[in-house]
Amino acid sequence: MSIRRSAVLAGAVALALSLTACGGSSDADGSGNPGNSGNSDNSDNGDAEGTESNETRVFTADNGDITIPADPQRVVATGYAVPVLIEAGAPLVGISSWQRGEPLMTEEDLATYEGITRVAGELAAETNYEAIAEVEPDLIVIGVPAPVLGDLDLDRLESIAPVVAIGPTIPSAWRELSRQQADAAGALEQFDEVQAEYEAAAAELAEKYADVLPDLDFGHIGAYGEVAGGTFQREFGGSWGTNVAEDIGAGYYGEVKEPGPGSRAVSEYPSIEELPESLGDAEAITYTVNADGSVPEPVQYVMDSELWQNLPAVRAGMTFPVRYTEAATYRQAMLALEALDESFAPLLDR
C-alpha cells in the first residue's frame, strides 16, 4: 500500500493532533504563547447571520496583536502563506507569485494557484498595492521573514484590510507557522485533515525503519553552498533537508559552530577543505536533490571532490538523495516522506 493511500485511511481515524489548539487559539512564535485571545467582538446587533459576519478576534502575529475577522471571506496571501492557504482551502482572492513551490504542488493545488489573481511578485518589494485593493480583501496574511517586513508599506496595506504577518523562522517551524496562517484565515478544518494524514504516514514509516534509522548518525549536504566561494552547506537537525527525515527516526548529529538567525541556526557553510572534519564521523549522509532527482550544482561540487569520495559513509555506500527538501506544508511534506521511503528502502536489506 502506498504511503499516501495508507495515510489517508489513517488520517480518517486520527482523534488528536499534537499541534491542535483549542478554540481559536494560535501559537504565533512557536514558543507556546497564545496567538489570539479567543474573544469575539460582536460589533453589530441583528440576526445571527449578520452578527457572525461582523465578529472579530484579536490575533497575535509578527506585527503585533491584530483585530481580524473571526470568519474571513476574502483573503490575500503572500510568501510562505500562499501554498499553506491553498492546501487549507482558504477563501483566497489574491496571492503573490510562489514559483519556488510550484514543483511541490499537486495538480489540483497548482490549478488553484494558477487561477488566483496575482497581487505581488516573488519578492515583498514587488507588492502591488493597487491590485490588493481591487480584490477587496477582508484579511491579508503576509508570509515573509520578519526582517523583510521593512520592504512592505504596512500602513498602506492596513488601510486596505487587517494585516497579519506570520513569517518563517527556522526551517522546521513550518509546522507551527503554517497552522497559525491557516488559523488566521479561518481554514483549520481542512488543514487539520492534511496534518493528520501526514502524521499517520510519518508514524508508519517510523515503524518501518525503526530497526535501522535510529542507530545511525546522519549528516546532510544542502543545496545552498557557494561553488565560487569554495563552500558547501551542512545542514543539522531542524533544517530544510533534515526535518522531515527526523519525523521518521533519522538523527542528525552535531550542531552549528556559530549559530545565526533563521536557517543559519541549523546550517553552516564550511570550506570544501573542511569536509572530512565536518562529516568524517557520519555513518550515513543524506543530500538534497531537485524535485526531478537531478543534483544541484552546489551538491555536485561536493560529490566531485576527492574528499567526498574518501568519507567513511561514502565508501560504505551509505549516501541517500532527498527530494522535496523545501517542503513547507503538510501536503508537500507527504511528497518528502515518499521520497525518503524510496531512498532509505535499501537499508532494510542490509
pLDDT at 11: 41
Lowest mean pLDDT among 44-48, 94-98, 192-196: 44-48
For residue 46, give the amino acid letter: G
**Comparing 3-8+31-186 with 211-349, is the CATH topology the same?**
yes
> Of 292, 286, 293, 242, which Cα lies nearest the Cα of 263?
242
pLDDT tens for 222-239 read 999 999 999 999 999 999
Q: Which of 22-26, 99-103, 284-288 tops mean pLDDT? A: 284-288
Lowest mean pLDDT among 45-49, 190-194, 294-298: 45-49
Q: Is the dihedral of CA 263, 265, 267, 268 positive or negative?
A: positive
So where are the chain's domains?
3-8+31-186, 211-349
Cell triple for 100: 519556488
pTM of the entire structure? Answer: 0.83
The rounded percent of the chain whose pLDDT value lies above 90 is 82
pLDDT at 35: 38
Contacts of 294 (CB under 8 A, 6+ apart): none
Strands annotated E in the chain: 56-61, 64-69, 75-79, 92-96, 118-120, 139-143, 163-165, 217-222, 233-235, 251-252, 267-268, 284-288, 319-322
CA gap 198, 332 in Å, rounded? 9
Average pLDDT over the chain reads 88
Packing angle of the helix pair 330-344, 188-208 (nearest 10 deg): 10
CATH of 3-8+31-186, one of 3.40.50.1980, 3.40.640.10, 3.30.1540.10, 3.30.1300.10: 3.40.50.1980
Strands annotated E in 3-127: 56-61, 64-69, 75-79, 92-96, 118-120
Cell 546522519, residue located? 218
CA gap 177, 166 in Å, rounded? 7
pLDDT at 53: 63
- For residue 323, pLDDT beyond 60: yes
Separation of first and last alpha carbons in the chain: 22
Over residues 291-313, the mean pLDDT reads: 97
For residue 226, give the amino acid letter: E
Contacts of 299 (CB under 8 A, 6+ apart): 221, 222, 223, 225, 287, 288, 289
Superfamily of domain 211-349: Nitrogenase molybdenum iron protein domain (3.40.50.1980)
pLDDT at 147: 85
Provide the CA 267 distance to its chain's centre, in angstroms.
16
pLDDT tens for 119-168 read 999 999 999 999 999 999 999 999 998 888 999 999 999 999 999 999 99
Reported as a pLDDT band with limits 50, 70 and 90, residue 324 is very high
CA gap 288, 337 in Å, rounded? 14
pLDDT tens for 140-150 read 999 998 888 99
Q: Which residues pair with 284 in a beta bridge?
A: 218
